[in-house]
């Protein structure tokens, strides 16, 4: 035992306990000597902001799925046109991922996140003002451009504010909240629409001088309400947050030491990135491998936020209103498993000192199980059986989500924003292609053919780990296990 070190702190260090603030990789006994000040926990407030943001990103992008039937009816939009609208979001989301990550790495995540949240909240609200196909297409395209900056800058905040030893579990928690935002979005948005459409609420509008709103479809006002929520987040976040923990007055030296333990410092913002960084980003084998993991995995995953309600309606005769909870179950399972996988990924690295094993085992195994589940889906006959298979598919796939995201943050090194932006940019090609391609496949060849394509995509996602090396950053800096 280190002389003067408290017994409980020594035990926590040997166990790799993060709550004691000691990494199993690199001890910081200075913090826990008798008489040393206890570390503050400002990083947990930062994590709370990130979790709220993660929830909002998926809530805002998925809520349109619940309103799709009403929108198609009121705006006279076909299934194919709605598929194009779904795809427009993913196209702009992919296009602006890298610029969004660069914005954070160049100017800081504080300003970048505030800007993109305000932007996407505005166009979430404007989705409720659409008058036809083209206006809704435009609003959703710009909404996607705003959301594109969210996760790259979340990655940057993670790299600056969270210790290296907890990146897997932190990523798992963030993706659990994200998935639950998507899972609960149809139900919450549906409840919001029902509340807005109720006679009582309509009567309140008529009696408050807003009679012109009383005749509007409920989905329009529900989009407006969702836009306001994001604006509230930005108003709270910007005055409080600081890009560097050292600049936050409420962070004491002990917490700062915990945050910095066992990791290389991220590059500061406020200066241009060398051209060599961009060259290495686009030529690094691991970055392209991670991009492939996301491209193929996202193609299969996007079924759950685009055509799952349509599948339940056409094949199992479950209408949109009744499918709210059914549609939520796979994402609830996926969210829970992403947290489990994130914690387990860190534990494997801590015990085996093999970073690739810890980061790859759950994405590979999960993608293979997801592929098998999707292949079996056309052969079941009851709604309950179909829901179980969808829960298994998304739960297995998402068990690797925390590990994958942690790998991106780690491989990003000093530039996690552009690393996450690059991978998400490429990965969302799958999300962009799937709604349009999916509509054509199930429309012409049937649902069975579509699920074979999904299974193939999941298998390819697993195969991509053969070319991924997580033991060094994309710039070539070696990482300790």
Q: Contact 281/419 with Cβ under 8 angstroms?
A: yes
In terms of Cα–Cα distance, which of 154, 125, 190, 146 is closest to 53?
A: 154
| Strand partners for 472 | 478
| Strand partners for 5 | 33
Q: What three-state secondary structure class fits 149?
A: coil
Over the range 160-183, which residues count as b (16 or more CB within 10 Å of their CB) and which as e?
Answer: bbbbbbbbbbbbbbbbbbbbbbbb
Distance between CA 118 and CA 236 in Å, rounded?
Answer: 12
Task: Find all residues with CB under 8 Å of 123, minimum gap 6, and list them.
Answer: 139, 140, 142, 143, 146, 227
> What number is the average pLDDT over the span 373-384?
91
CATH of domain 42-467: 1.20.1250.20
Distance between CA 429 and CA 297 in Å, rounded?
Answer: 11
282 pLDDT higher than 80: yes
The predicted structure's pLDDT at residue 264: 55
Extents of the domains making up the chain: 1-36, 42-467
Over the range 186-219, which residues count as b (16 or more CB within 10 Å of their CB) and which as e?
Answer: bebbbebbeebbeeebbeebeeeeeeebeebbbb
Lowest-confidence range among 49-63, 262-276, 370-384, 396-410? 262-276
Distance between CA 97 and CA 102 in Å, rounded?
Answer: 9
**Could you count the other beta carbons within 10 Å of the beta carbon of residue 15?**
13
> What number is the average pLDDT over the span 24-49?
67
Q: What three-state secondary structure class fits 381?
A: coil
Q: What share of the chain is helix, strand, coil (3-state, %, to 5)?
A: 80, 0, 20
Distance between CA 291 and CA 309 in Å, rounded?
Answer: 28
- What pLDDT band is residue 370 in, cutting at 50, 70 and 90? very high
Going by the DSSP 8-state scheme, the letter that residue 305 receives in this structure is G
The predicted structure's pLDDT at residue 366: 96
The predicted structure's pLDDT at residue 95: 87
Distance between CA 471 and CA 272 in Å, rounded?
Answer: 26
The predicted structure's pLDDT at residue 307: 77
Q: What three-state secondary structure class fits 18?
A: coil
Residue 451 tokens, joined: 């699920």
Chain position carrying tokens 């799925």: 65
Q: How many CA atoms lie within 13 A of 480 on its CB side?
A: 11
Cα distances (Å, whole numbers) of residue 56 to 150, 337, 372: 10, 20, 31
Over the range 354-380, which residues count as b (16 or more CB within 10 Å of their CB) and which as e?
Answer: ebeebbbbbbbbbbbbbbbbbbbbbee
Q: With the C-alpha atoms ordered 239, 425, 174, 68, is the resulting torsion angle positive or negative?
A: positive
Q: Is 124 exposed, middle or buried (0-12, 13-18, 19+ CB in 10 A)?
A: buried
Residue 167 tokens, joined: 């990146």
Residue 396 tokens, joined: 């297995």
The predicted structure's pLDDT at residue 24: 38
Of the chain, the percentage scoring pLDDT greater than 70 comes to 87
3 pLDDT higher than 50: no
Q: Tens digits of per-residue pLDDT, 61-89? A: 878 877 878 888 889 988 778 878 887 88
Going by the DSSP 8-state scheme, the letter that residue 264 receives in this structure is P
The predicted structure's pLDDT at residue 21: 37
Q: Contact 38/30 with Cβ under 8 angstroms?
A: no
**Could you count the other beta carbons within 10 Å of the beta carbon of residue 467?**
13
Q: What three-state secondary structure class fits 24?
A: coil
Q: What three-state secondary structure class fits 13?
A: helix
Q: Tens digits of per-residue pLDDT, 164-180? A: 888 888 998 998 998 88
Distance between CA 83 and CA 124 in Å, rounded?
Answer: 18
In terms of Cα–Cα distance, which of 411, 465, 126 is closest to 294?
A: 465
The predicted structure's pLDDT at residue 91: 84
Q: Tens digits of per-residue pLDDT, 287-346? A: 999 999 998 998 888 788 777 877 888 888 887 666 667 878 888 898 899 999 999 999
- What pLDDT band is residue 113 in, cutting at 50, 70 and 90? very high
The predicted structure's pLDDT at residue 217: 86
> What number is the average pLDDT over the span 13-35?
41
Cα distances (Å, whole numbers) of residue 162 to 227, 254, 398: 29, 14, 22
């Amino acid at each position: 035992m280190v002389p003067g070190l408290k017994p409980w702190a020594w035990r926590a260090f040997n166990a790799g306990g993060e709550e004691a603030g000691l990494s199993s990789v690199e001890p910081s006994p200075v913090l826990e000597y008798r008489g040393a000040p206890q570390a503050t926990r400002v990083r947990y407030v930062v994590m709370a902001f990130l979790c709220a943001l993660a929830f909002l990103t998926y809530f805002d992008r998925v809520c349109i799925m619940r309103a799709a039937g009403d929108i198609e009816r009121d705006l006279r939009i076909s299934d194919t046109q709605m598929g194009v609208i779904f795809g427009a979001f993913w196209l702009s989301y992919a296009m602006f991922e890298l610029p969004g990550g660069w914005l954070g790495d160049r100017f800081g995540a504080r300003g970048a996140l505030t800007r993109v949240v305000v932007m996407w909240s505005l166009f979430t609200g404007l989705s409720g003002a659409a008058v036809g196909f083209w206006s809704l297409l435009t609003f959703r395209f710009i909404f996607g451009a705003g959301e594109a900056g969210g996760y790259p800058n979340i990655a940057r905040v993670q790299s600056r504010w969270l210790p290296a030893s907890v990146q897997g579990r932190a990523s798992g928690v963030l993706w659990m909240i994200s998935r639950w935002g998507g899972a609960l979005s149809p139900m919450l948005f549906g409840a919001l629409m029902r509340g807005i459409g109720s006679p009582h609420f309509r009567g309140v509008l008529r009696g408050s001088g807003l009679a012109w709103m009383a005749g509007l479809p409920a989905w329009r006002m529900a989009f407006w309400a969702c836009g306001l929520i994001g604006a509230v987040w930005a108003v709270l976040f910007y005055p409080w947050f600081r890009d560097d923990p050292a600049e936050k007055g409420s962070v004491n030296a002990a917490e700062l030491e915990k945050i910095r333990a066992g990791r290389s410092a991220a590059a500061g913002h406020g200066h241009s990135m060398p051209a060599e960084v961009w060259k290495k980003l686009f030529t690094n084998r691991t970055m392209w491998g991670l991009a492939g993991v996301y491209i193929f995995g996202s193609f299969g995953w996007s079924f759950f936020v685009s055509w799952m309600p349509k599948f339940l309606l056409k094949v199992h005769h479950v209408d949109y209103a009744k499918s709210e909870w059914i549609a939520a179950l796979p994402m609830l399972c996926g969210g829970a498993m992403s947290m489990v996988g994130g914690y387990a990924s860190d534990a494997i690295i801590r015990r085996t000192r093999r970073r690739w094993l810890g980061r790859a085992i759950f994405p590979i195994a999960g993608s293979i199980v997801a592929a098998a589940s999707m292949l079996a889906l056309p052969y079941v006959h009851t709604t309950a059986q179909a829901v179980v298979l969808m829960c298994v598919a998304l739960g297995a796939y998402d068990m690797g989500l925390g590990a994958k995201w942690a790998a991106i943050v780690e491989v990003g090194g000093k530039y996690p924003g552009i690393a996450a932006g690059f991978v998400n940019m490429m990965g969302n090609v799958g999300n962009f292609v799937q709604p349009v391609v999916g509509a054509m496949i199930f429309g012409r060849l049937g649902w069975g053919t579509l699920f074979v394509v999904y299974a193939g995509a999941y298998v390819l996602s697993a195969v991509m780990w053969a070319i991924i090396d997580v033991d060094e950053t994309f710039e070539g800096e070696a990482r300790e296990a």
